[in-house]
Amino acid sequence: VDVSLSGIRTAHGPIEAMPLEVSAVAADFQLRPNYPNPFNPSTTLAFNVAGEIGQSYAVRLEIYNPLGQKVKTVVQDNLPAGNYEYTWNGDSDSGSLLPAGIYFASLRSGTANKVIKMVMIK
């Protein structure tokens, strides 16, 4: 029932909702901006693995320094299509904390590659 400013009531019939067909394919391959950015001491990396629901895909999420050197492998796994979030604590593969500066997160799956720029502050 709607009531207008002048007090007129309007009744409406029942509302019907029909579910949309659920897609059998996950959303586009995507690496979303990390948050927070700039960050200290950690940041969240969120991404989508595109593909057929129920199928797994080889995925690599790596961190590079400005010289193009890989400093951290965050994920190297076969993941089902879907949405993921990982936290990076600003450390290297050896476990040492990296210095403040610019870093790049690279997400790869098959021939797809996405890169974002991140800033670590101290």
In 3D space, the residue among 47, 45, 51, 53 whose CA is nearest the CA of residue 30 turns out to be 47
Q: What is the pLDDT of residue 25?
A: 53
Class of 25-120 in CATH: mainly beta
Q: What is the pLDDT of residue 106?
A: 98
Q: What is the pLDDT of residue 28?
A: 82
Contact (CB, 8 A) for 113 and 31 = no
The structural domains of the chain, with segments of one domain joined by +, span 25-120
| pTM, full prediction | 0.77
Between 11 and 53, the higher pLDDT residue? 53
For 43, which DSSP code?
Answer: E
The answer to whether residue 18 scores a pLDDT higher than 80 is no
Q: What is the pLDDT of residue 12?
A: 62
